[in-house]
Structure 1
Amino acid sequence: MRLASVLATGFALLAPLAVQAAEPDAARLYTETCAACHGGDRLGAIGPALLPQNLGRLKPAEAKEIILHGRPATQMPGFADQLSEADAEALAAYIFAVPESMPQWGMAEIAASHVLHADPAALPDRPTHASDLMNLFAVVESGDHHVTILDGDRFEPIDRFRSRFALHGGIKYSPDGRFAYMASRDGWVSVYDMWTLQMVAEVRAGINTRNIAVSGDGKWVAVGNMVPASVVILNARDLSPHTVIPVIGDKGAESRVSAVYAAPPRGSFIVALKDLPEVWEIPYVTPKKPYYPGLVHNYEPGMVEALDVRDQAFQVRRIKLDDYLDDFFFDQGYENLMGAARNGRNGQVVNLIVGRKIADIPLSGMPHLGSGITFDWNGRRVMASPNLKENKISVIDMTTWQTVKELETLGPGFFMRSHEKAPYAFADVFFGPNKDAVHVIDKTTLEIVETLRLEPGKTVAHAEFTEDGRHVLLSVMEDDGALIVLDAATLEEVKRLPMRRPVGKYNVANKIRYEEGTSH
């Protein structure tokens, strides 16, 4: 009995240790499962940063489900075949835990990271190559982290250079088309001279960056950051930092930046916020009037780093709304923005002149308004948007804000493109088993007239047109991928160029002229 009693006592003492030993090692699971995409320090890489202030409206229980089953319309896969429920729960708790030291990235850190590769004042005043400067493309090849500069007349590369890791697809240009601006997910912003084919400057403007925009006067670059929650204003000439604007709402609430856009007719940047039901407008020129009528206007000394408070440029105009707007689309005059949150509810139309919502839009699912296009149809200006969650394309009348048609597609899509001089719009089916399909839509009849399968079984997406609208380029988004050049009217293949996962390509003229068929 004595031995049995001792053994029983021993097992009782060891039992908690056994349970403790069986608990998931969240740090190890993170390193093995998450670090490759989200960074070993949780500060983001290909995927976003996984820090409490970066997770916004997401709840731990929802994070657990995403870990197990993935997230629609993103590159986030599910790990239910590798992780148990307890593993996923432990990982969710881990990413919501506040790190011992929170990352800091303000004016001092940005300035210290600045790299000047060439003296902007010493750059030649004429191009060093004979290609048509307006018909160049910058092609982001994420397979090996390079950018190719493509001649859009001959469809031949004229330069190829290494980019920063996880470069965002949305390359922007200076208003004259000379300089290309690009941003990586980990905050590096680069400026490249399209005339002399050389890198000019780089700076790390954030820890986890969403995108950039170039002002209509060519003087400024705005950087939208997820971590830290900020908009950073850089001098476009050499990327030296000018202003850091923390994104803070009422009662000190921070918000990640979903996207930042330039609105040249307004002389301002427009900021989409992920965690505040607001739209921000940041003028880059001093407004004629210091306040906009009928608006909540917020500017406090100390809110903005390194800014002379007497300068009314870069003051923050806050337009408060009754719902979140993660994704924007603008009319050609930048008077109205159409926005939708990633919550499956109706979209909103916000008039930027009066600073308030003027209409709801019947948009279900997850419309990708940032990839929408506009065109004339039956004497009316309409916009068309793919959907990241539902198998459809919505066509909206931009006067009545009503849906004029919904086209059924073979799956959710990511990109849609056209050109004022082209008869067709092209929409991919990025998500699902039909990822190799590209729908061709007649802009007169609003019908899908053909479905192309240019590379069966592989993802084909992101159409982009040449300056004259005669040719359209499509990406085979695989490591052994390609650019496929089609005649935009006959749909016949003209050329195919091998590429390493070309995730995006951007024509100079179409971008700087804000062509109606491309994203802005």
Structure 2
Amino acid sequence: MKLWLVIVISVFSFVIMGTGVVQKAEAELSEEGRQVAKPNAEAQLSGEEYKKANVVQKAEAELSEEGRQVAKPNAEVQLSGEEYKKANWEYFNRCGGCHGMLRKGATGNALTPDRTKPMGTERLKNIIFNGTKGGMPGWGAGVNIYTMEDAELLAKYIQMEPEVPPEFNMKDIRATWKVYVPVEKRPTKPVHHRNWENFFGVILRDAGKIAIIDGDTKEVVSVLDSGFAVHTLRYSKSGRYLYTIGRDAKATLVDLWMDPIQTIAEVKTGLDARSIESSKYKGRKGDFVDKLAVVGNYWPPSYVILDGLTLEPLKIVSTRSYTYDTQEYHVEPRVASIVASHFAPEWVLNVKETGLILLVDYSDIKNLKVTTIESERFLHDGGWDKSHRYFLVAANMRDKLVVVDTKTKKLEAIVETGIKPHPGRGTNFKDPEYGWVYATPHLGEAAVALVCTKPRHDKTENRWKVVRKLKVAGDGGLFIKTHPKSHHLWVDHTLSKDVDAQRSVTVYDIRHLDKEPKVLKLTDKGRIVHMEYNKGGDELWISVWDREGEIIVFDDETLTEKARITDPRLVTPTGKFNVYNTRLDIY
């Protein structure tokens, strides 16, 4: 069995967003063997030498049941077959999102042998175990996932040549497509009496499942299988359908009107994926509500258009192209995030490594039109401004937010905010002094940046500028949240190196941003991550990310705890997505 089959890919992407830059030069080799130039290479090989080396690098080691040694090109370290399998799985589960499948790096550093071998096993082991100042958690000392022996295993693994995973074509995708409940057999109206628009879809990351929780009763209504380590959930514009995408590229479709609520279709679009979105446009160009969906793959780097009601795969489009700035060909440009435009039948796709934003017109997928916008490299997550016209996305390794006008379909601005912005979807509110702002926390500093999106009439010069930096209890911020009916701003510090900060939230009163915020410690176990409001905007839900997880429900007005949702099935709850708020992009 090929080694790639043991790879289970899943970084809590919204935990540490990942990237991997792959530079590959195609050499024209004559019969005489002309010199082959590789990017940034100081050495050169004849054609025959390069061919021979290439064959060696692509060779797969034969692993016996006893676990014979795996020999990699020029490797000074060796692992048994079982050790290699374990390290391979751990890398793609914990590390690949930031460092890339081919280990070329972006959010995390490149981990190719030319960089790792000079560092040596001992130094690499300590970095993996203890973390870095740049934002990587200590997988041993920090989050208690790895022993020192585990860290040493990975330290050896990353000194070996990375394997190139196989491609995944339409034939492969269609072989995974299943429809459990055909459209004609689905109910025409909700068959239960619950307030389904106040349902919360909850990611149970390490369980490979999602939970549906009734926001009114706080009851866990259903727990469903999903892809492994689901990264995000999205709803159709009608709100009836829930789309999930796992880091193993398995997408599922859930019907919230059924009783019991159940998965009605699934498909696997590749080997690694991170984002999913539905078609939401209804207007003079047509009615596309619930008609289509799109998945953004990490590997193979591509996006896949699906039927929105059945997940039938309809079209694959590769994202391999050239970086916008250096014009170098890239073989691993990953689709990091996707949103659906409110102005046109288009999806906004953010391609991490190339720094290109794609406006994909889904009104005619047989004659696909794509507007390509050059922005900044290492694009990650983002969200809408208050008007839903401007999309703001973090280029976190460049410490910037990129702003795109989806009405004019042009780059609007690039704003430097701080060290590694990570907004998630971000959040919008009216600053009492500056007007409407979009807020983002940061992985690399204990601060929230407020970017002015619609300034007061007497402060127009502030548009697309950082007008405030708010101090919070720790760095490592992943998410931020408020609501149109709230006057509170909630910020987590999930990846902070300070344990108290990991288990706390910072809460500002939007009306008095000059006053000190409140820091609420919420748990003595796990980490606090991801906030979401209920439909009414009067409750704030927060996850305790732990094997024995909890969801804490706060009264947003008084900042007092109303409930703790506990259930043995709530294993590592992370992201929570309210139907009403998510489908209407309220944040």
TM-score range, shorter chain: 0.7 to 0.9
String of CA shifts for 1:378-419, please: whole Å, max 9, x gaps.
Answer: 271101111111111111111411222111122121111111
Stretch moving more, 239-248 or 26-35 = 26-35
SS in 2 for 1:264: coil
Q: Structure 1 stretch 139-148 or stretch 230-239: which is displaced more? A: 139-148
Displacement of 1:182: 0.3
2:264 equivalent among 200, 205, 214: 200
Q: 1:464 aligns with which of 508, 526, 532?
A: 532
Q: CA distance change for structure 1 residues 88 and 134 in 2, over 3 Å: closer, same or farther?
A: closer
1:277 corresponds to which letter in structure 2? G
For 2:276, give the aligned amino acid. Answer: I
Against the structure 1 CA distance between its residues 22 and 391, is the aligned structure 2 distance closer, same or farther, given a 3 Å change threshold?
Answer: closer
Q: Is the 8 A contact 2:383 2:424 kept in 1?
A: yes
Pick closer, same or farther for the CA change 1:383–1:94 going to 2, 3 Å. same
Secondary structure in structure 2 of the residue aligned to 1:138: strand
Which of 442, 450, 465 is residue 402 of structure 1 equivalent to?
465
Aligned partner of 1:221 among 271, 293, 305? 293
The residue number in structure 2 matching 1:297 is: none
Per-residue deviation, residues 9-57 of structure 1 (Å, max 9, x unmatched): xxxxxxxxxxx9994115658636623434xxxxx44653787657366
Paired residue for 1:135? 198
Q: State the match for 1:15 in structure 2.
A: none
Change (3 A) 1:347 1:177: closer
1:338·1:369 contact (CA, 8 Å) conserved in 2? no
Shift of 1:445: 1.6
- The equivalent residue for 1:159 is 222
**Alpha-carbon shift at residue 422 of structure 1 (Å):** 1.3
1:442 pairs with 2:509: yes
Partner of residue 126, structure 1:
189
For 2:512, give the aligned amino acid: T
Partner of 1:512: 583
Q: Contact 1:30 / 1:91 at 8 angstroms: preserved in 2?
A: no
Q: CA deviation at 1:116?
A: 1.3
Q: In structure 1, which of residues 384, 387, 395 is the aligned counterpart of residue 439 of structure 2? A: 384
What residue identity is the alignment partner of 2:574?
V
1:429 is matched with: 493
Shift in CA distance, 126/373, structure 1 to aligned 2, threshold 3 Å: same
C-alpha distance in structure 2 between counterparts of 1:47 and 1:201, whole Å: 30
Q: 1:34 aligns with which of 87, 107, 117?
A: 87
Contact 1:386 1:416 (C-alpha < 8 Å) held by counterparts: yes
* SS in structure 2 at match of 1:444: helix
CA shift at 1:459, angstroms?
1.0
Equivalent position to 1:25, from 70, 78, 87: 78
Which residue does 1:94 correspond to in 2? 160
**Separation in 2, partners of 1:366, 1:165:** 27
Q: Distance in 2 between matches of 1:384 and 1:51?
A: 28
**Matches of 1:80 and 1:153, distance apart in 2:** 42
SS of the residue corresponding to residue 134 of structure 1 reads helix
2:315 aligned residue: 243
* C-alpha contact 2:374 2:411 (8 A) present in aligned 1: no
* Secondary structure, counterpart of 1:511 in structure 2: helix
Equivalent runs, 1:474-489 vs 2, <5 Å? 474-489=542-557
Matched residue SS, 1:269: strand
Q: Work out whether 1:259 is the aligned partner of 2:337.
A: yes
User: How far is 1:355 from its partner?
Assistant: 4.5
In terms of mean alpha carbon deviation, does 437-446 or 68-77 score higher? 68-77
Q: Which amino acid aligns with 1:436?
A: R
Report the CA distance between 1:206 and its aligned residue: 1.2
Match of 1:331 among 346, 362, 385: 385
Once residues 235 and 439 of structure 1 are traced to their aligned partners in structure 2, the CA distance between those partners, rounded to angstroms, is: 41
Q: Who is 2:3 aligned against? A: none
**Cα–Cα, structure 1 residues 36 and 476, in superposed 2: closer, same or farther, change >3 Å?**
same
Distance in 1 between residues matched to 2:441 and 2:576, nearest whole Å: 19
Q: Any residues of structure 2 matched to 1:61-80 within 5 Å, and which? A: 61=114, 68=125, 69-70=127-128, 73=135, 77=139
In 2: Cα distance, 1:233 partner to 1:225 partner:
11
What is the DSSP-based 3-state SS (H/G/I as helix, E as strand, rest coil) of the residue aligned with 1:509? helix
2:293–2:305: 8 Å Cα contact kept in structure 1?
Answer: yes
* 1:490 match: secondary structure: coil
Q: In terms of mean alpha carbon deviation, does 457-466 or 320-329 score higher?
A: 320-329
- Whether the 8 Å contact between 2:399 and 2:421 is mirrored in structure 1 is no
Aligned equivalent of 1:177:
239
Residue aligning to 2:34:
none
Q: Name whichever of 440-449 and 128-137 sits farther off.
A: 440-449
Cα distance in 2 between the residues matched to 1:84 and 1:206 = 29
2:101 is the counterpart of 1:48:
no
What root-mean-square deviation, in Å, do the aligned CA atoms of Structure 1 and Structure 2 show? 3.0
Q: Give the aligned partner of residue 112 of structure 1.
A: 175
Amino acid at match of 1:239: L
C-alpha distance in 1 between matches for 2:530 and 2:347: 25
* Segment drifting more, 185-194 vs 116-125: 116-125
Residue identity matched to 1:55: K
Cα distance, 1:253–1:199 mapped onto 2, change above 3 Å: same
Other-structure match for 2:403? 349
Amino acid at match of 1:416: I
Matched, 1:455 2:523: yes
Supply the distance in 2 between the matched residues of 1:144 and 1:391 (Cα, whole angstroms). 31
TM-score (norm: length of structure 1) = 0.81
Report if aligned partners of 2:371, 2:409 keep a CA contact under 8 Å in 1.
Answer: no
Q: Is the 8 A contact 1:371 1:414 kept in 2?
A: no
Matches within 5 A, 1:411-426: 411-412=474-475, 413-426=477-490
Could you tell me which residue of structure 2 aligns to residue 191 of structure 1?
253
Unaligned runs of 5+ in 2: 1-72, 141-145, 281-288, 323-327, 455-462
State the one-letter code of the partner of 1:105.
F
Asked if structure 2 preserves the Cα contact closer than 8 Å seen for 1:275 and 1:324, the reply is yes
User: Structure 2: how far apart are the matches of 1:238 and 1:350?
Assistant: 31
Candidates 140, 144, 147, aligned match of 2:210: 147
CA deviation after TM superposition for structure 1 residue 482, in Å: 0.7
Q: Distance in 2 between matches of 1:370 and 1:396?
A: 15
Q: Distance in 1 between matches of 2:295 and 2:478?
A: 23
Cα–Cα, structure 1 residues 345 and 500, in superposed 2: closer, same or farther, change >3 Å? closer
Structure 1 contact 54–256 (Cα < 8 Å) conserved: no
**Which whole-Å CA distance do the structure 2 matches of 1:404 and 1:112 have between them?**
52
Contact 1:46 1:185 in 2 (8 A): no
Cα pair distance change 1:328/1:158, threshold 3 Å? closer
Preserved CA contact (<8 Å) 1:222 1:232: yes
Deviations 1:419-442 (A, max 9, x none): 111121211111222211111111
TM-score (norm 2): 0.72
Following the alignment from structure 1 to structure 2, what is the Cα–Cα distance between the partners of residues 242 and 32?
A: 34
CA contact (8 A) 1:191 1:200 kept: yes
Whole-Å separation in 2 of the counterparts to 1:366 and 1:495: 34
SS in 2 for 1:108: helix
Bigger drift between 123-132 and 154-163 goes to 154-163
Contact between 2:553 and 2:562, CA under 8 Å: does it hold in 1? yes
